[in-house]
Amino acid sequence: MSAEAFHIEVASDMVAAVASDAEPLPEIVVETRGLDTWYGDFQALRKVNLSAAKGRITAIIGPSGCGKSTLLRAINRMNDLVPGYRTSGEILLEGVPAPTDPAGVIALRRRVGMLFQRPNPFPMSIFDNVAYGLRLERRRSRRDLEEPVERALQRAGLWEEVKDRLERSALGLSGGQQQRLCLARSLAVEPQVILMDEPTSSLDPIATLRVEELMREFRDEVTIIIVTHNMQQAARVSDVTAFMLMGEGRAGELVEINRTRELFNRPQDRRTEDYITGRFG
Ligand SMILES: Nc1ncnc2c1ncn2[C@@H]1O[C@H](COP(=O)(O)OP(=O)(O)O)[C@@H](O)[C@H]1O
Ligand SMILES: [Mg+2]
Please tell me the distance from the alpha carbon of residue 151 to that of residue 201, in angstroms, as a whole number.
26
The model's pTM:
0.90
Using a 6 Å CB cutoff, which residues line ligand 1? 39, 42, 44, 64-70, 82
Cα distances from 83 to residues 17, 40, 77, in angstroms, run: 42, 8, 13
Query: pLDDT value at position 140?
Result: 76
- Per-residue pLDDT tens listing for the chain (281 residues): 444 444 444 454 454 444 445 566 789 999 999 999 999 999 999 999 999 999 999 999 999 999 999 999 999 999 998 999 999 999 999 999 999 898 899 899 899 999 999 999 999 999 999 999 999 887 678 888 999 999 999 999 999 999 999 999 999 999 999 999 999 999 999 999 999 999 999 999 999 999 999 999 999 999 999 999 899 999 999 999 999 999 999 999 999 999 999 999 999 999 999 999 987 64
Asked if 258 contacts 240 with a C-beta cutoff of 8 angstroms, the reply is: yes
For residue 24, what pLDDT is reported?
63
Secondary structure string (H, E, C) spanning 105-172: HHHHHHHEEEECCCCCCCCCEHHHHHHHHHHHCCCCCHHHHHHHHHHHHHHCCCHHHHCCCCCCEHHH
Distance 63 CA to ligand 2 centre (A): 9
Query: Where do the structural domains in the chain lie, given as residue ranges?
Result: 3-94+192-276, 121-190
Beta strands in 169-251, from DSSP E residues, in sequence order: 193-197, 223-227, 240-246
204-237 pLDDT, tens digit per residue, is: 999 999 999 999 999 999 999 999 989 999 999 9
Ligand having the closest approach to the CA of 116 = 2
Spell 132-151 as b/e; 16+ CB within 10 A means b: bbbeeeeeeeeeebeebbbb
* Protein residue with its CA nearest to atom 20 in ligand 1: 65
pLDDT score for 16: 46
Ligand 1: distance of its center to the CA of 65 in Å?
A: 6
Which of 45, 46, 61, 70 most suits a substitution to test ligand 1, by most atoms within 8 Å of the C-beta? 70
The pLDDT value given to residue 21? 52
Superfamily grouping for domain 3-94+192-276: P-loop containing nucleotide triphosphate hydrolases (3.40.50.300)
In this structure, how many other beta carbons lie within 10 angstroms of the beta carbon of residue 158? 24
CA–CA separation, 59 and 115 (whole Å): 14
How many other C-beta atoms are found inside a 10 Å radius of the C-beta of residue 206?
8
- Rg, the chain, Cα only: 19
Pocket test for ligand 1, best of 39, 60, 61, 82 (most atoms within 8 A of CB): 39
User: Strands, DSSP E only, in 26-125?
Assistant: 28-39, 42-53, 57-61, 85-93, 96-97, 112-115
Task: Return the SS3 of 49.
Answer: strand
pLDDT digits (tens, 9 = 90+) for 171-209: 999 999 999 999 999 999 999 999 999 999 999 999 999
- Ligand 2 centroid vs 66 CA: distance in angstroms? 8
Which ligand 1 atom sits closest to the C-alpha of 66? 22
- CA of residue 254 to ligand 1 center, whole Å: 15
